[in-house]
Amino acid sequence: MVVRRLGLQDYDPIWHAMRYLVENPKEKRNDEIWLLSHKPVFTQGQAGKDEHILNSGNIPVVHIDRGGQVTYHGPGQLVAYLLINVRRRKLGVRNLVDLIETAMTSTLAQFGLSAETRPKAPGVYVSNAKIGALGLRIKNGWSYHGLSLNVNMDLSPFHDINPCGFKNLAVTQLSNFIESEELLLQKVSKVLCNKLLLELGYKEYY
State the catalytic residues: 164
Element (H, E) at 14: helix 11-23
Strand partners, 9: 38
User: Which residues make Cβ contacts (< 8 Å) with residue 55, sequence separation at least 6?
Assistant: 160
Q: How many CB atoms lie within 10 A of CB 135?
A: 23
116 alpha carbon, distance to own chain's centre: 16
Q: How many CB atoms lie within 10 A of CB 143?
A: 24
- Rounded Cα–Cα distance for residues 198 and 121 (Å): 24
State the DSSP string of 33-56: EEEEEESSEEEE-TT--GGGB---
Q: Is 107 exposed, middle or buried, given 0-12, 13-18 or 19+ CB atoms closer than 10 A?
A: buried
User: Which residues make Cβ contacts (< 8 Å) with residue 120, sequence separation at least 6?
Assistant: none
Reduce the DSSP state of residue 1 to 3 states and report it: coil
